[in-house]
C-alpha cells in the first residue's frame, strides 16, 4: 500500500467504527490484556468465522485453527514495501519465540487481492518470510467478508510509477486468542520484540511483561 494514505484511511475507518472508545483504547494497543478485549468488544467486534483457501488450494476455515492463537495480517503479494516490511517483522518476532510458544500461534497472511494472489503464489510468497507463515486467499466474496470482519480497508489504485495496480490497505496486525477473541491490534512497524512479548504472554495466559 501507499503508506500515508493507507494509514490515514485506516485510522479514519477505525475512528468511525470505534468512536468514543478510541481515546481510551489507543494507548492500550499492542499491550493486550483483558481490559482491551472487553472494552473493545463492547463497542465493536473484530474477527469471526471465515472460509478461505490455503496454498494447496484446499478450503480452510477458522475451525482449522481451533485451539491456537492466530496472528493475522492482511495485504497482497505485489505490495512494494509495506507488506514485505511487516511480514519481515512478523518473521523476526516468530523467531524470538521458543518452539513450544510458537506452536500455539498460527501466523496467517490473508490477501486482499485474490484476483492476482492465487493459492500457489501465496504459498511461494509466505515461504520467503517464514516457514510457519500460512498464506490464505479465496474468492472475492470470501475475502470481502473476512476483511469486513477485521475492519480492513482496501482499494485498488492505479499508479503511473508501476506497470501493475497497487492496493491501498490497512496494515494492522491482529493477535487473536484460542477462542477467537481479540487480544491485541498492532500498528504497522510495531517492534518485533513487542509482537513477540505479547504473543508469548498471551499463549501462556500471562499479562505482558509479567
Ligand atoms: Ni501492503
Look at residue 38 in the predicted model and tell me its pLDDT. 41
Rounded to the nearest angstrom, the distance between the alpha carbon of 130 and the centre of ligand 1 is 17
Look at residue 44 in the predicted model and tell me its pLDDT. 78
Rounded to the nearest angstrom, the distance between the alpha carbon of 144 and the centre of ligand 1 is 16
Which has the minimum average pLDDT: 14-18, 19-23, 96-100?
19-23
d(CA 143, CA 51): 9
Residue 66 has pLDDT above 60, yes or no: yes
Rounded to the nearest angstrom, the distance between the alpha carbon of 170 and the centre of ligand 1 is 8
Q: List C-alpha distances in Å: 121 to 57, 136, 198.
A: 11, 10, 30
Rounded to the nearest angstrom, the distance between the alpha carbon of 206 and the centre of ligand 1 is 32
Rounded to the nearest angstrom, the distance between the alpha carbon of 64 and the centre of ligand 1 is 26
d(CA 210, CA 198): 11
Average pLDDT, the chain: 85
Look at residue 15 in the predicted model and tell me its pLDDT. 45
Q: Which among 119, 64, 92, 120 has a CA at the least distance from the CA of 195? A: 92
Phi-psi map region of 49: left, alpha, beta (phi>0 left; psi -120 to 50 alpha):
beta
Residue 200 has pLDDT above 50, yes or no: yes
Look at residue 27 in the predicted model and tell me its pLDDT. 36
Rounded to the nearest angstrom, the distance between the alpha carbon of 203 and the centre of ligand 1 is 27
Confidence class of residue 17 from pLDDT cuts 50, 70 and 90? very low
Which has the minimum average pLDDT: 1-5, 105-109, 154-158?
1-5
CB atoms within 5 A of ion ligand 1 belong to: 1, 75, 79, 82-83
d(CA 175, CA 182): 6
Look at residue 48 in the predicted model and tell me its pLDDT. 95
The 3 state secondary structure assigned to 117-144 is CCHHHHHHHHHCCCCCCEEEECCHHHHH
Q: Are 196 and 96 a contacting pair, CB within 8 Å?
A: yes
Q: List C-alpha distances in Å: 191 to 39, 122, 148.
A: 24, 25, 26
- Mean pLDDT over 69-81 rounds to 97
Question: Maximum CA pair distance of the chain?
Answer: 50
Residue 36 has pLDDT above 60, yes or no: no
Q: Are 110 and 52 a contacting pair, CB within 8 Å?
A: yes
Q: Are 186 and 172 a contacting pair, CB within 8 Å?
A: yes
- Mean pLDDT over 78-104 rounds to 97
Rounded to the nearest angstrom, the distance between the alpha carbon of 1 and the centre of ligand 1 is 4
Look at residue 155 in the predicted model and tell me its pLDDT. 96
- Mean pLDDT over 35-60 rounds to 79
Rounded to the nearest angstrom, the distance between the alpha carbon of 209 and the centre of ligand 1 is 30
Q: What is the pLDDT of residues 142-196, one digit of tens each?
A: 999 999 999 999 999 998 888 889 999 999 999 999 999 999 999 999 999 999 9
Which DSSP letter does residue 31 get?
A: T
Rounded to the nearest angstrom, the distance between the alpha carbon of 6 and the centre of ligand 1 is 9
Look at residue 159 in the predicted model and tell me its pLDDT. 84
Which has the minimum average pLDDT: 5-9, 123-127, 185-189?
5-9
Rounded to the nearest angstrom, the distance between the alpha carbon of 76 and the centre of ligand 1 is 6
Amino acid at each position: 500500500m501507499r503508506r500515508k494514505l493507507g494509514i490515514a484511511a485506516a485510522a479514519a475507518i477505525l475512528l468511525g467504527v470505534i468512536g468514543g472508545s478510541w481515546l481510551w483504547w489507543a494507548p492500550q494497543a499492542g499491550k493486550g490484556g483483558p481490559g482491551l478485549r472487553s472494552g473493545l468488544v463492547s463497542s465493536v467486534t473484530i474477527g469471526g468465522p471465515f472460509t478461505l483457501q490455503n496454498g494447496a488450494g484446499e478450503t480452510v476455515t477458522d475451525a482449522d485453527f481451533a485451539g491456537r492463537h492466530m496472528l493475522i495480517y492482511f495485504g497482497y503479494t505485489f505490495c512494494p514495501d509495506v507488506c514485505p516490511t511487516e511480514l519481515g517483522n512478523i518473521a523476526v518476532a516468530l523467531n524470538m519465540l521458543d518452539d513450544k510458544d510458537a506452536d500455539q500461534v498460527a501466523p496467517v497472511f490473508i490477501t486482499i487481492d485474490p484476483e492476482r494472489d492465487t493459492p500457489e503464489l501465496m504459498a511461494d510468497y509466505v515461504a520467503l518470510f517464514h516457514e510457519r507463515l500460512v498464506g490464505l486467499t479465496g474468492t472475492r466474496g470470501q475475502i470481502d467478508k473476512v476483511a469486513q470482519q477485521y475492519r480492513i480497508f482496501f482499494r485498488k489504485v492505479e499508479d503511473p510509477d508501476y506497470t501493475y495496480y497497487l492496493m491501498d490497505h490497512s496494515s494492522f496486525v491482529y493477535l487473536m486468542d484460542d477462542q477467537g477473541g481479540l487480544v491485541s491490534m498492532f500498528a504497522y512497524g510495531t517492534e518485533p520484540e513487542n509482537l513477540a512479548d505479547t504473543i508469548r504472554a498471551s499463549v501462556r495466559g500471562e499479562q505482558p511483561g509479567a
